[in-house]
Amino acid sequence: MSCSTSDAQEVCLPNSDKQLPNQLNDPVFFGSTPGDELASRGGTGTLGVLEVTRLLEGAGLPCCIIGISSLIYFGAWRVRNDREICVPTNMVERASALLKTRDAYEPCPPGPVQLWSLLHTFPHFKLKGKSLWFLIIPLEDCHLNCNPSNAEPSRTGLPHPTLEVFAQSLLDTNDLVPLADLVDGMDLTEEWGLQHLDLNGENDVTWAEQKNKKIRSSVPMTEDSCLLELSATPMSLRETLQNIVKGKDCRVGMECPKEVFATRFRIRGDEDPRLRARDEV
């Protein structure tokens, strides 16, 4: 997330870390740790994550891929470490217990505390002997529905939230940096938003306040711990999307000639990134 802006400002977020344009179809991932083999498909871990989702679904636990992996699926040039798998909130313990019964997976200690995040509180696993880590995220933290009708498979079969569902969740949670990545990755327009999203009202302040309460209970209280909390300021959904869309042009860096790039992630006339034969999603 980024700090919210006033209604009169355009959201012009700095360029995120990304690959050079000629590496558009290459995988994006951090290196493995000593002693680990590279994860499947050149280190992307696609097949390993696919096995996890099939295991969960086979046990009656609906799931979908979220976070950076979904941003990559929708065309953003992002670097990731862990894969985030969302399941219904009341099924997180069942999913974690199921994975613990399989020799292929080992629980990992929680990661470091991050701003505006509860990732350090969720079950974290690793594929034994491989450079592949993943977390089980409760549905309530994602602010989306894991219903199969709200998911679509990637070319490799991984379940992702549909574009409309994913965009709505980022708007409702006022998650501006990922929202800008999604807009730039799919080259979304205000017209698309008006047609496919609910832009009436404001972001879900109640959700933010509830998450802040959980953040406070998960970390030692210090003078600075309040900085970990989300903004609970009401923001117009329509104006938030308008500002993000208006900022597409100013987010295109000098390394991406504007006569070639429609957005910092999209070449003019390029196909839908979901159709590319990429393995990283």
Q: State pLDDT tens for residues 126-145.
A: 999 999 999 999 999 999 87
Determine, yes or no, domain membership for 55: yes
pLDDT beyond 70 at 53: yes
Q: Three-class SS of residue 58?
A: helix
Determine, yes or no, domain membership for 271: no
What is the span of the domain harbouring residue 151?
Answer: 17-161
Residue 33's CB is within 10 A of a number of other CB atoms, namely 9
Return all residues near 121 (Cβ < 8 A) that are at least 6 apart: 110, 214, 218
Our separate counts of H helices and E strands in the chain read 10, 7
CATH code of 70's domain? 3.30.460
Split at pLDDT 50, 70, 90, the class of 8 is very low
- Judging by beta carbons within 10 Å of its beta carbon (0-12, 13-18, 19+), is residue 185 exposed, middle or buried? buried
Cα separation, 108 vs 69, whole angstroms: 20
Determine, yes or no, domain membership for 71: yes
Determine, yes or no, domain membership for 179: no
Residue 64's CB is within 10 A of a number of other CB atoms, namely 29
Determine, yes or no, domain membership for 218: no
Length of the chain: 281
pLDDT of residue 22: 37
Pair 140, 133: CB distance under 8 Å: no
- Judging by beta carbons within 10 Å of its beta carbon (0-12, 13-18, 19+), is residue 248 exposed, middle or buried? buried
pLDDT beyond 60 at 244: yes
Residue 245's CB is within 10 A of a number of other CB atoms, namely 22
Determine, yes or no, domain membership for 150: yes
pLDDT beyond 90 at 40: no
Determine, yes or no, domain membership for 1: no
Cα separation, 64 vs 215, whole angstroms: 24
For residue 95, what are its two tokens? 């999913």
Pair 38, 123: CB distance under 8 Å: no
Cα separation, 266 vs 248, whole angstroms: 11
User: Considering its fold, how many domains does the chain have in total?
Assistant: 1
Determine, yes or no, domain membership for 197: no
Could you read off the pLDDT of 158-191 as tens digits, one per residue? 999 999 999 999 999 999 999 999 999 999 999 9
pLDDT beyond 50 at 119: yes
Q: Three-class SS of residue 159?
A: strand
For residue 204, give Cα distances in angstroms to 169, 235, 239, 250, 258.
10, 9, 15, 28, 35
User: Which residue from 268, 64, 219, 24 is spatially nearest to 149, judged by alpha carbons?
Assistant: 64
User: To the nearest whole number, what is the mean pLDDT of the chain?
Assistant: 86
pLDDT of residue 145: 76
In this predicted structure, which of 17-26, 126-135, 213-222, 246-255 has the lowest mean pLDDT? 17-26
